[in-house]
A and B are shown apart, each in its own frame.
Chain A
Amino acid sequence: MSTMTLDAAGHAEAVQSELTGEKMAISQAAVRKTVGQPFSDTAKLRMRNVNVFYGETQAIHNVSLDIGRNEVVAMIGPSGCGKSTFLRCLNRMNDTIEGCRVDGELSLDGDPIYGPKVDVVPLRARVGMVFQKPNPFPKSIYENVAYGPKIHGIASRRADLDEIVENSLRRAGLWDEVKDRLDKPGTGLSGGQQQRLCIARAIAVSPEVILMDEPCSALDPIATARIEELIDELRENYTIAIVTHSMQQAARVSQRTAYFHLGHLVEVNDTETVFTNPEHELTEAYITGRFG
């Protein structure tokens, strides 16, 4: 996993070297400070001066960002810019990568995310995650959704569990499609259905935040539209951070957009501002397709 990220970093360097020398100079000088409004009054997640290292390589440089309550924040940027790495810090999924080190203050509702006394299990129950590739367990649809509530002891009686499963599948917009075949394997569903199953699985443990790492990159346009609608509905109850490569998607689903470049957070602004009137030159270059 760490080698993959290193490769991606190498790719980003290659992208950068394609730029003219003039632009290089701009990116080196101007990237130091984040422009726009990285902070929020109703912060659910607070990140201050976050640095991430893979061994000797620094993947994230001094990023500070708030994600507000019931807000969808999109993270965009060229491949290898560190947006997925940053996302994975928020529920400590980076812990599984050997040699990965995270510095800085990260908190969820004021509770620290990193620290010697923090138990990662309840943290991950509060901050759920949906991955790039749908990854249902090779179990039945019912067992997939019931997995989280079972391990956290949320439901003790079968009836409660049934209710949680039905509610989660309904919220993920999958109930009508699968209610007659809950005992069939989750891996037998289509790609879009699998991804909605993974979302149902994530919301079954009633998280406060949902992290989505390019949730639609393996899906067709119709399934993508379905998931985007779903994200909009989920915003009522959850705080959502989504990494995406599709700028249209970021524009459609998010309230604020953060643009990452080579491990730096370049600009954070209202989504509309970012896509119509970006403050930073690099953001403009990226959204107008001059590189990335």
Chain B
Amino acid sequence: MQTPTLFALLLLLILVAYGTGFSRALSAARSRGGLRNLSSLPSYHGLFAALWCGLPALLLLGAWLVFDDAIIRSMVMHSIADKPDTIAGQNLLFAQIQNLAAGHLVGEPSPQLQSAAEHLSQLRSNSNTLQAFLSVVLAVGLGAFALLRFSPELRAREKVEKVLRAILITCACAAIFTTVGILFSVLFESLRFFQSVPVTEFLFGLHWSPQMALRADQVGSSGAFGAVPLFTGTLMVSAIAMFVAVPVGLMAAIYLAEYASKSVRNVAKPVLEILAGVPTVVYGFFAALTVAPFIRDLATSIGLQASSESALAAGLVMGIMIIPFVSSLSDDVINAVPQSLRDGALGLGSTQSETVRKVVIPAALPGIVGGVLLAVSRAIGETMIVVMAAGLAANLTANPLESVTTVTVQIVTLLVGDQEFDSPKTLAAFALGLMLFISTLVLNFIALHVVKKYREQYD
């Protein structure tokens, strides 16, 4: 039986189980004189039967689909007498058998292959039948079991709620496990990188030039993996971005929250948030084609040397990108300051700006700091604008008019093109990713901590 047909059949069984459970509960209720004499509503009895019928069968089916191929493969390979030793050779052999079984003949197959292919087809069809048979039997059996357990006293509601809770927990865990999974995959690759390049060199080396010679006779550098220029580049670009975004975003938020009339606010806030919806690639164009040349020309006209791709251009545009982020978060925080504090300040004869400066902002400050820290981690992780506007040269410089490169940009360049996953050049990307992960994690942690502390303030 085909898997989709099987699914349809199971669905039908589930519906039947639901309907039967529902109607049995309903008739039991009728004979006892009303729904209130039932421990649970009929829909819960229906769900109870449906869950018993469907959940185990679907889980079995899912597990089958996942492990099916691997088991069949190992059975087929087991039956072959003279296997190649290498994993690659075995893969090749199995691919041949698969092709043969699917009917794509290439040349004259050996009898041994021929029989293996037949074995494979046989196993597959067996597996298919067994899978359909088992899941249907499981569904029918457990569905019937659940329906047999039916009695008006059955606490179906509590059991259904328990299952629903388990499903919700599973979903919540999926997000957490993904994060942990990403962390570990990055961590293990990084450890491999640190086997060939010492941690101290990576963290404190001043020279970044990750090109490796592929062959011994090739002309080229042996690679230098000092990440300090990348860290300073990231810091400089992020600092310039925050230098733009924090004052502008904060003042925009103050205007919107404290001064703007309702009608202005209703228009201005969504418009400001459109900025957040512009794809970062578009900001990249803007930075590379408009802002960077403008800065270069401006610098040249006042007699300064400026590269056509500069940290300043990337930082400025990134700052503009982050403005709505800062303003939206600050706006929420400022609005959360109770009106009674403003009334208190105004009632003492403060002007509006005194009220904002001396009462509202200090009261909102922890929340604003939290928002700014979140914006910083956003800036550190931003890639596209810097790729397009700041250049790729890993200069260790404090001059914002020179081109710099950042951690994210280097990750991109290291992983673009043909890769060799055992060379330090590629593995360096994971080490950089780990650094990025750790620093944004720490920033987020601090930000959340600050925001949480702020929440307790007015209670």
Decide if A102 is an interface residue (CB 8 Å cutoff): no
Whether A151 lies near B457 (C-beta < 8 A) is no
Point out the residues of chain A lying under 8 angstroms from B363, CB to CB. 137-138
Point out the residues of chain A lying under 8 angstroms from B457, CB to CB. 138, 187
Cα(A135)–Cα(B340), bound, Å: 6
**Closest Cβ neighbor of A134 among chain B residues:** B340
Whether A148 lies near B349 (C-beta < 8 A) is yes
Cα(A128)–Cα(B343), bound, Å: 11
Within A128-154, the residues touching B (CB, 8 Å) are 128-129, 131, 133, 135-139, 147-148, 151-152
Point out the residues of chain B lying under 8 angstroms from A91, CB to CB. 347
Out of A98, A138, A187, A201, name the residue touching B348 (CB < 8 Å).
A201
Decide if A165 is an interface residue (CB 8 Å cutoff): no
How many pairs, one residue from A and one from B, have CB atoms within 8 Å of each other in the complex? 69
In the complex with contacts A133-B340, A135-B338, A147-B358, A202-B347 CB distance below 8 A:
yes
Cα(A91)–Cα(B346), bound, Å: 10
Decide if A106 is an interface residue (CB 8 Å cutoff): no
Whether A148 lies near B348 (C-beta < 8 A) is yes
**Closest Cβ neighbor of B351 among chain A residues:** A121
Q: Mark A78-100, 1 if CB is under 8 A from B, else 0.
A: 00000000000001010010100
Decide if A205 is an interface residue (CB 8 Å cutoff): yes
Whether A138 lies near B343 (C-beta < 8 A) is no
Whether B339 lies near A205 (C-beta < 8 A) is no
Whether A1 lies near B347 (C-beta < 8 A) is no
Decide if A46 is an interface residue (CB 8 Å cutoff): no
Point out the residues of chain B lying under 8 angstroms from A21, CB to CB. none
**Closest Cβ neighbor of B348 among chain A residues:** A148
Point out the residues of chain A lying under 8 angstroms from B346, CB to CB. 93, 96, 124
Cα(A202)–Cα(B346), bound, Å: 11
Decide if A174 is an interface residue (CB 8 Å cutoff): no
Point out the residues of chain A lying under 8 angstroms from B344, CB to CB. 131, 135-137, 198, 201
Dominant SS among interface residues on chain B: helix
**Closest Cβ neighbor of A91 among chain B residues:** B347
Point out the residues of chain A lying under 8 angstroms from B340, CB to CB. 131, 133, 135
In the complex with contacts A98-B262, A138-B363, A151-B348 CB distance below 8 A:
yes
Q: Total interface residues on B, using CB and 8 Å?
A: 23
Point out the residues of chain B lying under 8 angstroms from A136, CB to CB. 344
B398 to chain A, nearest CB (A): 39
Q: Total interface residues on A, using CB and 8 Å?
A: 28
Query: By CB atoms of chain B within 10 A, which of A1, A139, A147 has the most?
Result: A147
Cα(A98)–Cα(B342), bound, Å: 15
Whether B343 lies near A131 (C-beta < 8 A) is yes
Decide if A125 is an interface residue (CB 8 Å cutoff): yes
B346 to chain A, nearest CB (A): 6
Out of B342, B349, B359, name the residue touching A124 (CB < 8 Å).
B349
Q: Mark B400-415, 1 if CB is under 8 A from A, else 0.
A: 0000000000000000
Whether B349 lies near A98 (C-beta < 8 A) is no
A234 to chain B, nearest CB (A): 16
Cα(A272)–Cα(B354), bound, Å: 43
Decide if B345 is an interface residue (CB 8 Å cutoff): yes
Whether A137 lies near B341 (C-beta < 8 A) is yes
Decide if B362 is an interface residue (CB 8 Å cutoff): yes
Cα(A52)–Cα(B457), bound, Å: 36
Q: Mark B167-179, 1 if CB is under 8 A from A, else 0.
A: 0000000000000
Point out the residues of chain A lying under 8 angstroms from B362, CB to CB. 137-139
**Could you list 18 A-B pairs, sorted by A, with CB under 8 Å?**
A93-B343, A93-B346, A98-B261, A121-B350, A125-B348, A128-B347, A131-B340, A135-B343, A135-B344, A137-B363, A138-B458, A147-B348, A148-B348, A151-B348, A151-B349, A151-B350, A187-B458, A205-B349
Binding site for B on A (CB under 8 A): 1, 91, 93, 96, 98, 121-125, 128-129, 131, 133, 135-139, 147-148, 151-152, 187, 198, 201-202, 205
Known: A147-B345, A202-B348. 18 other contacts (CB 8 A): A1-B339, A91-B347, A96-B342, A96-B346, A98-B261, A121-B351, A123-B349, A124-B346, A125-B349, A128-B348, A129-B343, A135-B338, A137-B359, A138-B458, A147-B358, A151-B349, A205-B348, A205-B349
> 8 closest Cβ contacts across the A-B interface?
A125-B349, A129-B347, A135-B340, A124-B349, A148-B348, A135-B344, A121-B349, A138-B363
Binding site for A on B (CB under 8 A): 261-262, 338-351, 354, 358-359, 362-363, 457-458
